[in-house]
Amino acid sequence: MVRIKRERRRKLYLLAAACVSCVAVLVLLMVSVLFLIKKGAGKASAAEVSVAEASLQEAADKDASVFPEKPENLMPDRDNAPDYTAPEKTDIPLSADSVPDMPEKIDDDSLQDENSLVSADLVTKGENEKVYITFDDGPSVFTGEILDILKKYDVKATFFVCGTGDKDESLKPIYKRIVDEGHTIGMHSYSHVYSRVYGDLDMFQYDLDKIRNLIYNETGVVPKYYRFPGGSGNTIASLPMEQYISVLYSQGMEYYDWNVYGGDSSGNRLSSENIIKNTLDGVDRRKTAVILLHDTGSRKNTVDALPGILEGLKARGADIRAIDDDTPPLHQYLDNN
């Protein structure tokens, strides 16, 4: 009896040992399989990373060949800035054929104009003020009246124009009239639609080419002054503004914001009296004033306010000028970033 029990115990021990051995073998097999899977995945991941890095580098090299690396100082060297070689009167090559032509309606800058208002020193008492009057968004049905008023007061201004002449053929002669009467013509984008202007750098370049080409073909002047839609302090650009600025600087262009705002954007329904007051109050606080006004078909109050603005400036002894190469750049983006 005792011998039988011992025999059973020995068999149980042997069975238990066999089970342990099987379990150990299974564990070793599972560990080996997991190790091989992990090792293979690691190799695949490394390969994918290498391919991704190569793609990114290729894209970066491609971008660098089209758009310059951001300079340490975005301010251009005016003395050594590249000169334009005027093309023949034809289309400047465009860089993105997929961008639509001039839209029916431009974007309203009302919410952006305050963002690009530049701070400046207060005027010293008795100092002769320099004042630059600028009009955005034209040409419009009111541009002719604006030019008539400026001629009457013997004042030169700056017009940052859009491609509205391509939408309304009757406006096309206005581009040349602006130049012929001694005013400065600048670019305010072709479409003035934020998603088109600031969608990416290709779209920005396309839009820039379109407005530059339009102005040149209508006036014979290759424009070099630019005003960003919404200003350089806008909050709607899809990329950092220095990237768009670098595109301008790579082509010898300069951009201008403003430090006096009349409040006449299309979304603001101010009276002509309020526009006059806002403008002259702003000029009184500035040593050098760059005034922002608008030239759109919806802003007759701006036209009505212009004589009062000019009379107020002349009463102050202001030196009213159009922007030229001697005008110091006024930059909201660089001043505040």
- In order, the DSSP letters of 198-266 are SS-HHHHHHHHHHHHHHHHHHHS----EE--TT-TT-S--SS-HHHHHHHHHHTT-EE--BSEE----T
**Which band of pLDDT confidence, cut at 50, 70 and 90, is reported for residue 273?**
very high
**Distance, CA of 319 to CA of 60 (rounded, Å):** 47
Number of structural domains, the chain?
2
pLDDT band (50, 70, 90) for residue 101 = low
Residue 51 has pLDDT above 80, yes or no: no
Residue 137 pLDDT > 70, yes or no?
A: yes
Confidence (pLDDT) at 263: 87
CA–CA separation, 258 and 14 (whole Å): 94
Would 78 be classed as within a structural domain? no
pLDDT, residue 296, reads 86
Tell me whether residue 206 is in a domain: yes
* Residue 314 sits in the same domain as residue 190: yes
* Active-site annotation holds for 136: yes
* Cβ contact 320:313 at 8 Å: yes
Same domain? For 160 and 303 the reply is yes
Residues 313 and 205 in one domain: yes
117 lies in the same domain as 61 = no
Spot the catalytic one: 113, 136, 137, 257: 136
Mean pLDDT of the chain: 75
* 228 & 298 share domain: yes
Please give the residue range of the domain that contains residue 47.
1-66
> Is residue 105 assigned to a domain?
no
Domain boundary among 47, 66, 85: 66
Local structure of 31: helix, strand or coil:
helix
- Which carries the bigger pLDDT value, residue 327 or residue 99? 327
Neighbours of 91 (CB within 10 A): 13
Contact 159, 146 (CB under 8 A): no
Q: How confident is the model at residue 191 (pLDDT cuts 50, 70, 90)?
A: very high
Reported as a pLDDT band with limits 50, 70 and 90, residue 302 is: very high
Note whether 284 and 152 are same-domain residues: yes
Domain check: are 227 and 317 in the same one? yes
Selecting among 183, 188, 192, 294, the annotated active-site residue is 294
Residue 81 falls inside a structural domain = no
Q: 36: which 2 tokens?
A: 């091989």
The CATH number for 325's domain is 3.20.20.370
161 lies in the same domain as 271: yes
Are 23 and 117 within one domain? no
The residue among 124 and 211 whose pLDDT is bigger is 211
